[in-house]
Structure 1
Amino acid sequence: MGPHTPLLRRIVSDLESISSAYRTLLSAIEEVEPRIAAATRQELTDQRASLKLIASENYASLPVLATMGTWLSDKYAEGTVGHRFYAGCQNVDTVEAVAAEHARELFGAEYAYVQPHSGIDANLTAYWAILAHKVESPALAEFGAKGVADLTEADWETLRRRFGEQRLLGMSLDAGGHLTHGFRPNVSGKMFHQRSYGTDPETQLLDYDVIRAQAREFRPLILVAGYSAYPRRVNFAKMRDIADEVGAVLMVDMAHFAGLVAGKVFTGEEDPVPYADVVTTTTHKSLRGPRGGMVLATGEYAPSVDRGCPLVLGGPLSNVMAAKAVALAEARTAEFQTYAQAVADNAQALAEGLLRRGVDLVTGGTDNHLVLMDVRSFGLTGRQAESALLESGIVTNRNAVPNDPNGAWYTTGVRLGTPALTSRGFTASDMDAVADMIAGVLGSTTPTTTSKGEPSKAKYDLTDDARDGSLAEAQRLLNLHPLYPGLEL
């Protein structure tokens, strides 16, 4: 077991009692809807039986999971701490205050908003808060003594026009950005006039001089930094300098690498919190908490972010906020710092193992938690590679690479991440074995043709020997590193 394993077992001093509690809960569910109980049991079985290399997934600790399944879910609590629209929210106030306190202390932030239900909710809250702070408030001041209730339809039309004319510059999807960074089909691409920055065609790395030139020409209100499939670190001091030069708000989406920030793997100019006006994140992924979102901000933007409800959100999920508090408390421990460093070390080992076996990697490697393979050398699309690996016991996701010729559906890449397997205790030597499995499976996979005789982008042939060998090796590694050890249903 890895050095961080005690975090997953923090409250499991009596394994039989915990197992008995889960069996009792599932039995109660089974009495009402047996199909849900069966699916829940099967999900644990399935997660235990596969190598999870999806960079955006992890395993929450048993305390975090237990916190979500409580009666806190029954309470409506629109508003903020001490200012609710419902009575009887004193315990939710405690939960939200504790979660925000842990977030501020963990990340060194002036303000933390823990209500968002997801990463996109966090980004929407941030975008609208920035618009409200930078556009609405100055515009309202122009109307003099009028209150909001006194604005005419012409006044509101002026506000709507100003809101709709704002600009956003974010990382392109194929370069490693996220849907919510201005991708046109996403709401973020419809809220703003948007443009995207990419990576250098040769190195596939961010070119800060090119980004600066784009920002000078486009003059965005918001400059978005952060990524979901970029296997390198970002210099946020340089991004701050670019934002300041053009008068932009610097917003950083650290959903993918928040755990590396929390675990002090990313420090100095690679830590976004000291440089950004607003930082958004999910609380799962590398942070290993419940599925949810969070916004960090400077004091200047705190009042606008605090209006997430009713601006964007409805009632917060109080049970999930409680689970966020538990996860953030875990992330403030020395064990979590050890875990975070192991995530980065394992990603490096995986990348090196793949490179030794001739696999092409975007940017030639990694220095964060993820690896992005370019599978063209195998004659495959990302979808074929993803499917062949899944059949062989390795769960990944296909992903676009810079200037991807296959588009966002079939793709040319496969994204790999190490947070989940590191939670199970996988080591660098284990990751080298995983690299050998991946290279072996892809090397034994060939595309088939369609009914028209054209190369298929989805169908493939995989040799039985390669598939069976990978499944056997996966089982060997999984047996060495059990998930939630001692928990028996």
Structure 2
Amino acid sequence: MSSSSAESTAFRSALEVVRSVEPRVAAAIGAELTDQRESLKLIASENYASPATLLAMGNWFSDKYAEGTVGRRFYAGCQNVDTVEALAAEHARELFGAAHAYVQPHSGIDANLVAFWAVLADRVEAPALRRAQARHVNDLTEQDWYALRRELGNQRMLGMSLDAGGHLTHGFRPNISGKMFDQRSYGTDPATGLIDYDKVAETAREFKPLILVGGYSAYPRKVNFRILREIADSVGATFMVDMAHFAGLVAGKVFTGDFDPVPHAHIVTTTTHKSLRGPRGGMVLCGPELADQVDRGCPMVLGGPLPHVMAAKAVALAEARRPDFADYAQRIVNNAQALADGLLRRGAKLVTGGTDNHLVLIDVTSYGLTGRQAEQALLDSGIVTNRNAVPQDPNGAWYTSGIRIGTPALTTRGLGTAQMDETAELIHTVLGQTTPGAGADGTASKAKYVLDDAVAEKVSQRAGELLAAFPLYPSVELS
């Protein structure tokens, strides 16, 4: 039996079993595959995991409780969980050149929380407890604990601002990180959109953070992590990097030297999907000095680990260690730059004027639109993106003035630079033919828009033709 027929048989059989219990769920799963096959997916944080990775999640590991770490579980019978967790950690260490890898986090925010609390425990909690114990000979009063809680909850974090491309989990109020830390942001140069490292250093000297965070979710350029580490060292801060978006570019050795965060950061977090092309989940990398604290992520922050997802992480990380992954990572960047060039030639305005990584940020105010209007008009035309703030965004974080697009998913399907130029034409056509709409009271709306159905249909049809030459999961047929 060939590999492709084995994969089709596996997924068809799985859906038949699901259908026998709840046919609506089976139908939704099948519909999702159809939708993904037919949509021009340009969401920078999404990708397509391999059939092997997907199949690794649907198994008996889901039935296991496995609190603790390899060899130190709070439940018996976890020898097989130990195997897959150890394999995932081994692949992660080898792939990224890290001394220690913790593969239990369920998501990127979980990974960040583990990192934050590991740093707090190492830098604040342990010294504070030692001081309290010295004063009170291990007899801490409620007032002592109150003072300790205030000390833990009054630390400072410096990270990239949301409108410059930072992430909610880097200390912003809507997220728990913003309630844990006194947060300040560094932005980008208003003229160029690039990080001003001298300004970051100035802010760090003034603010004196416990943690300096590098990393982004919507910054289209490389970051010099050597310089940020020097800034962190100059103020005695722990340097943490969230590489969730660009982990695949690090794994594929597109980002090396000053642009590889692992040799420079005290602690690194990431998701395992996005450009790394694995299952939805998180991971923490660190040196030996923080390893013990990081391994306390469960129960410090996490509930029980998800062994079936750790199994899938092991598979995806093994795939990323293959030579062809480096070629894939380079093609992601080539495609993003071709997409940016195609948009620029057609008159689009891009934040920073281009890209060095996997994403492009379009300032759609040049089309007279808000991000929300552009996002929906593109969706009507078969192009899936997400709205995003731009630096000093006049429309705020809900309506926004930008559209973030990325190339990891289309690169997985096999599209190349020629197809990126055509994709740029389709995007420009939709945005150029869309106009702002009016609300029910006749006033200008930041959400309503007008796009001729014929234009949307024509673009959607062409997008479908483009994708037909690059089938998604060609080895999987459900009927």
The TM tier, using the shorter chain, reads over 0.9
Q: Which segments of 5 or more consecutive residues in structure 1 lack a partner in the other structure?
A: 1-11
Match of 2:468 in 1: 479
Distance 2:255 2:338 in 1: 18
Match of 2:223 in 1: 234
Distance 1:15 1:225 in 2: 41
CA contact (8 A) 2:133 2:139 kept: no
Match of 1:8 in 2: none
* 1:225 and 2:225 matched: no
**Equivalent of 1:139 in 128, 150, 171:** 128
Match of 1:356 in 2: 345
* 1:60 and 2:49 matched: yes
Deviates more, 1:183-192 or 1:395-404: 183-192
CA contact (8 A) 2:132 2:138 kept: no
Match of 2:295 in 1: 306
Partner letter of residue 239 of structure 2?
Answer: L
TM-score, normalization by structure 1: 0.96
- Give the superposition deviation at 1:442: 0.5
Matches within 5 A, 1:358-437: 358-437=347-426
Partner letter of residue 244 of structure 2?
Answer: A
Match of 2:58 in 1: 69
* 1:464 and 2:453 matched: yes
Matches within 5 A, 1:37-436: 37-144=26-133, 151-436=140-425
Distance 2:432 2:240 in 1: 41
Match of 1:5 in 2: none
* 1:22 and 2:11 matched: yes
Partner letter of residue 67 of structure 2?
Answer: E
Distance 1:434 1:147 in 2: 67
Match of 1:7 in 2: none
CA contact (8 A) 2:88 2:313 kept: yes
Partner letter of residue 109 of structure 1?
Answer: A
- Does the residue aligned with 1:360 lie in a helix, a strand or coil? coil
The 1:46–1:251 alpha-carbon spacing in structure 2 relative to 1, beyond 3 Å, is: same
Q: Which segments of 5 or more consecutive residues in structure 2 lack a partner in the other structure?
A: none
- Give the superposition deviation at 1:131: 0.1
CA contact (8 A) 2:335 2:407 kept: yes
- Give the superposition deviation at 1:183: 1.2
1:200-237 deviation digits (Å, cap 9, x = unpaired)? 11101000000000000000000000000000000000
Deviates more, 1:290-299 or 1:147-156: 147-156
State the percentage of identical aligned residues.
70
Distance 1:269 1:21 in 2: 44
1:159-190 deviation digits (Å, cap 9, x = unpaired)? 10110110000111110000001111111111
Deviates more, 1:404-413 or 1:469-478: 469-478
1:328-354 deviation digits (Å, cap 9, x = unpaired)? 000001110000000000000000000
How well do the aligned residues superpose, as a CA RMSD in angstroms?
Answer: 1.4
Distance 1:462 1:371 in 2: 23
Partner letter of residue 439 of structure 1?
Answer: H
- Give the superposition deviation at 1:149: 8.3
Match of 1:9 in 2: none
- Give the superposition deviation at 1:148: 11
- Give the superposition deviation at 1:24: 1.4
- Give the superposition deviation at 1:151: 3.3
Partner letter of residue 37 of structure 1?
Answer: A
Distance 1:209 1:236 in 2: 14
Deviates more, 1:135-144 or 1:285-294: 135-144
- Give the superposition deviation at 1:453: 2.3
CA contact (8 A) 2:108 2:271 kept: yes
Deviates more, 1:417-426 or 1:449-458: 449-458
Aligned residue pairs total 478
- Give the superposition deviation at 1:98: 0.7
CA contact (8 A) 2:437 2:449 kept: yes
Distance 1:479 1:417 in 2: 20
TM-score, normalization by structure 2: 0.98
- Does the residue aligned with 1:300 lie in a helix, a strand or coil? helix
- Does the residue aligned with 2:105 lie in a helix, a strand or coil? coil
- Give the superposition deviation at 1:449: 1.2
- Does the residue aligned with 2:288 lie in a helix, a strand or coil? coil
Distance 1:183 1:141 in 2: 31
Distance 2:463 2:275 in 1: 22
- Does the residue aligned with 1:301 lie in a helix, a strand or coil? helix
Partner letter of residue 350 of structure 1?
Answer: L
